[in-house]
């Protein structure tokens, strides 16, 4: 049952990622928890190794998208949103330069 170990590892990884990505947002944390649990329960009786591998691939892709693409936003005013990126998202970020470079 190597597949079941992979499924359990993915389940735990998704929940850890959910906790990091939606930190301090109880509504999003709860919604993501419910969605993860719902998807795993819906497919818990799957026996086809090909289908299980496909579902694992989808779950891994979802985890990667959550980890690499989701940034929290906080409403600070009526029309203002403050973005709160995690430090791991800013690793490859280039600093902004508001003065254009001069061409020779």
35-61 pLDDT, tens digit per residue, is 999 999 999 898 888 999 999 999 999
Distance CA 3, CA 36 (A): 18
Q: What is the pLDDT of residues 47-97, one digit of tens each?
A: 888 999 999 999 999 999 998 888 888 888 888 888 888 877 766 556 666
Alpha-helix residue ranges (DSSP H) falling in 1-104: 2-21, 26-42, 49-69
Domain limits, the chain: 2-89
pLDDT value at residue 96: 67
pLDDT value at residue 27: 92
DSSP 82: E
Dihedral angle at the C-alpha atoms of 34, 37, 40, 44, nearest 10 degrees?
Answer: -120
- Is the model more confident about 36 or about 101? 36
């Amino acid at each position: 049952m190597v597949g079941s170990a992979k499924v359990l590892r993915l389940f735990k990884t998704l929940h850890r990622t959910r906790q990091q990505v939606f930190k301090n947002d109880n509504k999003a944390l709860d919604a993501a928890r419910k969605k993860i649990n719902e998807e795993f329960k819906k497919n818990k009786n799957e026996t086809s190794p090909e289908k299980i591998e496909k579902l694992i691939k989808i779950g891994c892709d979802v985890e990667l998208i959550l980890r690499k693409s989701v940034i929290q936003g906080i409403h600070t005013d009526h029309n203002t949103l403050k973005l709160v990126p995690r430090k791991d998202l800013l690793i490859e970020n280039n600093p902004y330069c508001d003065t254009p470079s001069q061409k020779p």
